[in-house]
Amino acid sequence: MNNFDLKNKTAIITGGAQGFGLDIAKKFLHFGAEVRIWDNDETELSNVIKKEKNENLKYDVVDVTNFDVVKKTIENLKNSKVDILINNAGITGPTAELWNYPIEDWKKIIDVNLNGTYICCKVIAPIMIKNNYGRIVNIASVSGKDGNANASAYSSAKAGVLGLTKSLGKELAEYNIAVNAVTPAGAKTRILDQMSKEHVQRMLSKVPRGRFLELDELSSLVCWLSSDENSFSTAAVFDISGGRSTY
C-alpha cells in the first residue's frame, strides 16, 4: 500500500457507516487523519465506533438531505476545520423502466445522491474558503456517465453529481481547494441488495476486467484525490470502472 500523509487533516465522510465510506474512513485513519463519519443509520454508526475503537474516529447521525441538520452538525463542531469532504452517501433505489418508476422513489434517489451532495458542499465550502484549503471527492458512478437501463433515477442523480463537481471545481479553483468525482463500477456492498440480481449481473457483464471493483481499489484513488499531492486536478471525473467507460 502506498503512503499518504493525512496528519493534521480533518475529514468528513458521508454514508461512512459501511461499504465504500467505511473503507475510506479506515484508510484515512491509517494515514493519520481525524475522521467524522456521517450517516443516517445510527445502529451501524455505533457498531462501527465500538468495533474500530479509534479515538480519531467520531460520528454524527446526519441525514444528508436535511439542510438544517447538516448546518447544525457543522456548527456544533468545536473545531471548524474541515480539510476533506467525501460525499459518499447514496442509494440506488429499485430496478424498473422509467415509465414504471415510482415517483416517490425517483424523488428520494435524486434527494440523497444529488441534493445531499449539494447540501454538504453548500455548508462546508465556506469553511474551506476561509481556510484556503480543501479536498472534496464526490462518489458518483459509472451509471452517471453511461446511463444504466432500469436505473434512470440513479443514473440521472449521478450524472447531476458530475455536473455539480465540474461547476463547483471551477468556482473554487482560485483557492487551494480541489473538487473531483469518481465513477466506480459495481462493488460488493449492501447497496447491491436494492437492485435485482439480473440487473447486477448485467452491470458486471459490461466490465472488461470481468469482476467487481474491490473497496480497497476505490479508497486508494480517493486517498490520492484527498491528499496534498493532488494539487492541480480539479473539476474532473476519475474513472474507476474496470474499462467499462473509456471517456
Ligand X SMILES: NC(=O)c1ccc[n+]([C@@H]2O[C@H](COP(=O)([O-])OP(=O)(O)OC[C@H]3O[C@@H](n4cnc5c(N)ncnc54)[C@H](O)[C@@H]3O)[C@@H](O)[C@H]2O)c1
Indicate which residues carry an active-site annotation: 154
Grid cell locating 110: 435524486
Question: Which of the stretches 86-94, 127-135, 145-153, 164-172 binds ligand X when contact is defined by CB under 6 A?
Answer: 86-94
Pick between residue 65 and residue 234 the one whose CB is nearest to ligand X.
Answer: 65
- 151: contact with ligand X by CB under 6 A: no
Output b/e per residue, 159-197; b: 16+ Cβ within 10 A: bbbbebbbebbeebeebebbbbbbbbbbbebebbeebee
Q: Please state, in angstroms and rounded to a whole number, the distance separating the CA atoms of residues 140 and 161.
A: 6
- 234: contact with ligand X by CB under 6 A: no
- 191: contact with ligand X by CB under 6 A: yes
Q: Please state, in angstroms and rounded to a whole number, the distance separating the CA atoms of residues 109 and 93.
A: 6
- 41: contact with ligand X by CB under 6 A: yes
Q: Minimum distance between the CB of residue 203 and ligand X, rounded to whole angstroms?
A: 8
Instruction: Return the number of other C-beta atoms located less than 10 Å from residue 40's C-beta.
Output: 19
Among the listed residues 116, 171, 113, the one whose alpha carbon sits nearest the alpha carbon of residue 144 = 113
Binding-site string for ligand X from residue 119 to residue 148, where x marks contact by CB under 6 A and - marks none? --------------------x-x-------
Q: Are 59 and 48 in contact (CB under 8 A)?
A: yes
- 19: contact with ligand X by CB under 6 A: yes
Q: Please state, in angstroms and rounded to a whole number, the distance separating the CA atoms of residues 141 and 135.
A: 19
- 176: contact with ligand X by CB under 6 A: no
Among the listed residues 48, 34, 116, 44, the one whose alpha carbon sits nearest the alpha carbon of residue 81 = 34
Binder of ligand X out of 72, 170, 190, 209 (CB under 6 A): 190
Binder of ligand X out of 35, 74, 85, 89 (CB under 6 A): 89
Q: Minimum distance between the CB of residue 241 and ligand X, rounded to whole angstroms?
A: 9
- 165: contact with ligand X by CB under 6 A: no
Q: Which residues bind ligand X (CB under 6 A)?
A: 14-15, 17-21, 39-41, 44, 62-65, 88-91, 112, 116, 139, 141, 184, 186-187, 189-191
